[in-house]
Amino acid sequence: MGKIIAKGVVDRKSGYLYYVDGKGNVCEAKMARGGKKKKAAKKKAAKKKPAKKKPAKKKKR
C-alpha cells in the first residue's frame, strides 16, 4: 500500500477511479460500476406460433 502524499489536491467526481500513471501524472478513468445506473431497455415479447401437430400413424394388423 502506498503513502498519502497530499489530500484535497484533486477534485474527485463520483463514478471515477483515480490513479498515478508511469510518468507520475494523476489520471482519472470512468468506473464500469460507479455513477448513475443505466435504464433497462424494455424487450418486446415475440409472438409464438402454435406447434404443428403431426397426423397419427395408423396401426398395421
- CA angle, corner 38, sides to 42 and 34, nearest 5? 155
Task: Enter the pTM of the model.
Answer: 0.43
| Burial category of 28 from C-beta neighbours within 10 Å (exposed 0-12, middle 13-18, buried 19 and up) | middle
- pLDDT value of residue 51: 81
Question: For 1-52, how does the pLDDT look when each residue is reduced to its tens digit (9 = 90+)?
Answer: 677 777 888 888 888 888 888 888 888 998 887 556 667 777 777 778 888 8
Q: Provide the pLDDT for residue 46.
A: 74
Cβ neighbours for 31, distance < 8 A, ≥ 6 positions apart: 15, 16, 17
